[in-house]
Every structure is written in structure tokens, then in C-alpha cells.
Amino acid sequence: MNKNSKVLALKYRPQTFDQLIGQEVIAETIINSIKANKIPNAYLLTGIRGVGKTTTARIIAKALNCSKGIDNLCKNDFCENCEPIINSSHIDVMEVDAASHTGIDNIREMIDLSRYAPTTAKYKIFIIDETHMLSKQAFAGLLKTLEEPPQYENGGGLKFIFATTEVKKIPVTIASRCQRFDLSRIKSSELFEFIKKIKDKENGKITDDAIKLLVKISEGSVRDALSLLDRALLSLDEGKELDLNSAQKIFGYFDKSQLIDLFELILRGEEKKSIEIYRQIYEQGVEPKVFINDFLELVYYFKNINSLNIESTNFTLNDEEFSKIKKIANEISDETLILFWQFTLKTLGELEIVNNQNLSVEMFLIRLMYLKSSVNKEHSLLSKNKIDQFKKQDDEQIIVNKKKNETISQVKNISQEQEVKIENNKGIKAWEKLNVNSFGQLLKICNEKKEIKLKYELEKNVNLVHFENNRIEISFNDNLDKNFIKDLSLKLFEWTGDRWIITLSKLKGELSINDKQKNQKIKNINSAKQSKLYKNLIEKFPDADLIDVNPKKEND
């Protein structure tokens, strides 16, 4: 076949290790193992499509059998072994497609062939592509041969090279007998430079922005990038340059600035303008599923823009778009963005079950506006949420303390007296009356009276601000039970015969009992770690860790 008639992915296929893109470490390791004559019985090459698994397998086969040696591996003038290897026609280097040769019978044929020494090459090599497609019986049939491959009189041997995109489907018993190499996605900057060189060799006229879009769509796959470049070059009229706008139309992508403008309109709640912009995008030929995926990507950038730089966005954003997102992101709460992310993922799944995906996307945008509105309302009421719950209790009376600016409200229970049998003017018998003079004493009484839930709330979720006779001032966290004030007021009345006022304060107050205990535990552990006993213990048991300390009691 004329080389010029080949598609670019085949025309510019690497022939030596130094021509591989983005796999320098893997190439160096394989070269060193061949030079040191420490060649594994089997190689396992994994990675996404188009990063060079089959290409690397062929280069390994060439490196093992090239008549010029590993240091002078054929690049252009191919020797009698390299020429048929790259054309998949070498009698001793067999490429097998596991997708169409899945059974044990196919493996038996291979094993039978492996008994015979290579005809012209030093090593007999089986390259098995899409290895994960083999059956369980086929994998089992390979085990013995992988463990102890035959050796031939010419000093060579049998080698397997497995290539797969789904390494998790390879049995552990097979993977453990292979030397595994994970081929990584190609970095955008590296792929951009490579495609640019190929474009120049092909005398193509494509702008850098169009190439960046091409690189983004390829998602780190060299083959995809070359296929897209092929398509772009074929779409050009003679003497015309392919710019970003033309490339977006060809590949079904659209200007990200439109999407950013749409996102901003959604945040403002401008329904009509938002739908207009989406319809413009749709009329450009953009599929609803592509649009939702790009919207999902944009939500990610809004959430994480402060921890990213322009290079880390893989050519998705230009400088202007990056700056615009960063400016808008500071006005959006994380709660909103996380909800947008979850809602967009849900919509992506819904597209599979609707007939008119375009209408579904329009409704998605409208629902986002209502979602944003509800999030804003919820966020604005968040700080008042717990107090509002207390206010909704039918049997509570709110008394605003105007003497102190730091006080939010005071809650006084009216119906609590009706829930206790009145036996004298104090509500309970005089001999049963308890004195509660401190917060600690209150916790002790809760324990004695088996009021475990109340004690839990006091220890975990309450910060004491002030405690005095018949009045407690506290602050609290979001986990505080909504009935706490009512329950505490009722129990205090039962125990003391007096009505108590529970005041909620804006002041933070003391740490909760639970937080104090945690801090004390950390302090005890840090103190114990300074002791000679601990240091001696760590010398003998370096993996040991101190997780708790029980201080000595006076009687110990």
C-alpha cells in the first residue's frame, strides 16, 4: 500500500521505543531488561484505547528479533525480521485477536505451535490483543506454559505479550506471571506538540486553537487525535485554514464562553435568556448528551477553579474563560455547586430513557434555576434554623431579652406545669426537691435519673455560656435535638419545683464536655509520648501507636 494513502494513525505509527509518546519510563525499563538479558516470560500492557499497547507489543517483538540489535533497531530500512513484524505477517511473531479467539481450543493450537522452534527469528512471540476477552478455560490453559515456556536450541525462547484495556478482568494467576506495564494517557501539552508536527508534515493549515480542541476531544489517545486530524484535513478546502469555529462545527463542539454565559444566567434566574442560548448551541449541531457532559465539566471547574491553573484544564479553557469562571465562582456557594453536580449526573441518566432529549435538557435548565432559588432560601435561613424549630413548639413562649445584645431568645415552657402532678405550691413534695447549682451537677443528676438522651445532648451538642439560679445560657451546634429546650425545662421543673429559663446566646461559650474530653485525651497522649517508657517501647516496636492514656487515680 502506498504510504501516502494510509490513514495518519498508521502512517505515523512509532517503529522504535524513542518514537513512543509519553511512555518514556516504560520504554527505558523494557530496553534495559533486554540489554541485561532479563526478559520476562510474558508482558502485560494495559491502558486506554490509542495510547500504544499494540504498537509497544510490536516494538518489543522487533527489539527481541531485529538482526541489527536493540541499539540499532530498524526505523526505516527494515531487516528481514522487522519488515514482516510491522506488517503482522511474520511466521514466528503471531498476533491473535482474543475477541474472536476466546476458547480453550484456540489456546491449545497456540501451545502446540510453541513446541516448534522459530523458523527465522530468535524468539517465538504471541501477541494477544484484548486479552480480557479470553474464557476462563483459555486462561487456565495458559498457566503452565506461562510458568515454564519452552527453550529452543538457538538460545531463544517463547514470549507472550498481552494487551488489554480492562486489566481487572485478567485473572490474578495470569497477571502474577507477567511483567505489567500501565501505559498512561498522553499529556495534553505533549499530544498538542505531536499533532502540530504531524500537521506541518502533512502541510495542513490548522490554527493552534483548533488543534487544542482536537486534543481535548481525544482525551489522551494518540490514535483518536490522529483520526480527528485526518478528518479535519479532509474537510479543508485547498488554501483554507481551519479555525476554532470551523473545528467546533466539524466535531460537534461549541464555544465554552457560551456555556459560561448560560451558567451565569441560570444563577441569576433568567429563564428566557438561558433557553435562548441553549437553543443557539443546539442549532450548532451539539447533541444533548454532549452538552450535559460539558455542563458537568463546567460545574467541576466552578467548584475547583481556585485550586487549578490554566495548564491543568487540558486546553478546555482559554485565559479569558478561566478568569471569568474564577470571578463568578466566588459568588456561588459550595452547596449549590455540589447540588448542581448531582442533579446534572441524574439528568445524564434520564437522557437514556426519553425520546426528545432536547426538551429534557431545556427542562433541566429550568429546574436548575428553581433548585438554585431553593438553595439560596435554605442557606439564608440556615443560621436561624434551629431556633425556628424551637419557636414552632406549640407549648413554648418566646421572651426576647432586650437587656443583652448577645442574646437571641429565651424559651420558657408554660405547659410543663400541667404535665406534673401538683401536690403543693411548688409542684412536687418538698422532700423530693433537688438543688441544681452548676452545669456539672445537672449532668450528674441526669445520670442518676437515667436521662441518657438529655445527658448526651448536654455533653455533645451544648456549649455553656452562663449558669445561675433558675437560668441557663447556652449556644449549640446543628446536631442539637429540636425538643431539647422543652425536655430540659420539663425535667428541671420536675427535679427542682421551679421554672427555669433557657437562653440561647450568640456567644460561643465554653467547649462542650465532649470536646473538652477529646482535647484532654490528645494532651494526655502527647504528654505520654514524651516519656522515657514510650520512647523505649517505640524503639522495640516501631509500628506501635499510642491511642489512649488512662491517668493514674489517687488510690492507684
Confidence band of 543 (pLDDT split at 50, 70, 90):
confident
Confidence band of 226 (pLDDT split at 50, 70, 90):
very high
pLDDT at 327 > cutoff 60: yes
Most confident of 27-31, 266-270, 356-360, 426-430: 27-31
- Are residues 121 and 90 in contact, defined by beta-carbon separation less than 8 angstroms? yes
Helix (H) or strand (E) holding 465, with range, is strand 462-468
User: What is the rounded CA–CA span in Å between residue 505 and residue 472?
Assistant: 10
Residue of 388, 410, 438 whose CA lies nearest to 499: 410
**Number of neighbours of residue 460 by Cβ within 10 angstroms:** 14
Confidence band of 124 (pLDDT split at 50, 70, 90):
very high
Q: What is the mean pLDDT of residues 4-20?
A: 87
pLDDT at 404 > cutoff 60: no
Residue in the block written with cell 484505547: 49
Q: What is the mean pLDDT of residues 504-523?
A: 78
Q: What sign does the CA torsion over 510, 516, 518, 521 have?
A: positive
Weakest-pLDDT range from 101-110, 126-135, 521-530: 521-530
The domain made up of 256-382 has a fold known as: Zinc Finger, Delta Prime; domain 3 (1.20.272)
Q: What is the mean pLDDT of residues 238-262?
A: 80
Residue in the block written with cell 512471540: 125
- Are residues 292 and 311 in contact, defined by beta-carbon separation less than 8 angstroms? no
For 188-251, CATH number out of 2.60.40.420, 3.40.50.620, 1.10.8.60, 1.10.540.10 equals: 1.10.8.60
- This model's pTM is above 0.75: no
Q: What is the arrangement of strands in the sheet containing 158-164, beginning at the earlier edge strand?
A: 93-97, 124-129, 158-164, 42-46, 179-182
pLDDT at 397 > cutoff 70: no
Residue 441 has a pLDDT of: 86
Residue 376 has a pLDDT of: 58
Q: What is the mean pLDDT of residues 175-186?
A: 92
- What's 3-182's CATH class? alpha beta
- Are residues 199 and 211 in contact, defined by beta-carbon separation less than 8 angstroms? yes
Question: Mind giving me the DSSP string for 199-268?
Answer: HHHTT--B-HHHHHHHHHHHTT-HHHHHHHHHHHHHTPPTT--B-HHHHHHHHT---HHHHHHHHHHHHH
Task: Compute the C-alpha angle 308/193/19, nearest 5°.
Answer: 120
**Number of neighbours of residue 519 by Cβ within 10 angstroms:** 11
pLDDT at 54 > cutoff 90: yes
pLDDT at 225 > cutoff 60: yes
- Are residues 250 and 232 in contact, defined by beta-carbon separation less than 8 angstroms? yes
The average confidence (pLDDT) of the chain is: 81
- Grid coordinates in use for 458? 448536654
Most confident of 52-56, 297-301, 366-370, 531-535: 52-56
Read off the pLDDT of residues 491-506 as tens digits, 9 standing for 90 and up: 888 888 888 888 887 7
Read off the pLDDT of residues 458-476 as tens digits, 9 standing for 90 and up: 888 888 888 887 888 888 8
- Grid coordinates in use for 364? 433541566
Contacts of 432 (CB under 8 A, 6+ apart): none
- Are residues 181 and 45 in contact, defined by beta-carbon separation less than 8 angstroms? yes
Q: What are the boundaries of each domain within the chain? A: 3-182, 188-251, 256-382, 393-505
Rg of the chain (C-alpha set):
36
Confidence band of 28 (pLDDT split at 50, 70, 90):
very high
pLDDT at 424 > cutoff 50: no
User: What is the rounded CA–CA span in Å between residue 34 and residue 537?
Assistant: 48
Query: Looking at per-residue confidence, does 395 or 94 come out higher?
Result: 94
Query: Residue 179 to residues 19, 25, 26, 75: CA-CA distances in angstroms?
Result: 22, 14, 11, 26
Query: Looking at per-residue confidence, does 23 or 541 come out higher?
Result: 23
pLDDT at 39 > cutoff 90: yes
Helix (H) or strand (E) holding 46, with range, is strand 42-46
pLDDT at 429 > cutoff 50: no
User: What is the rounded CA–CA span in Å between residue 208 and residue 292?
Assistant: 26
Read off the pLDDT of residues 138-162 as tens digits, 9 standing for 90 and up: 999 999 999 899 888 877 889 999 9
Distance of CA 125 to the CA centre of its chain: 39
Residue 196 has a pLDDT of: 92
User: What is the rounded CA–CA span in Å between residue 106 and residue 268?
Assistant: 63
User: What is the rounded CA–CA span in Å between residue 188 and residue 178?
Assistant: 30
User: What is the rounded CA–CA span in Å between residue 255 and residue 10?
Assistant: 31
Confidence band of 554 (pLDDT split at 50, 70, 90):
low
pLDDT at 58 > cutoff 90: yes
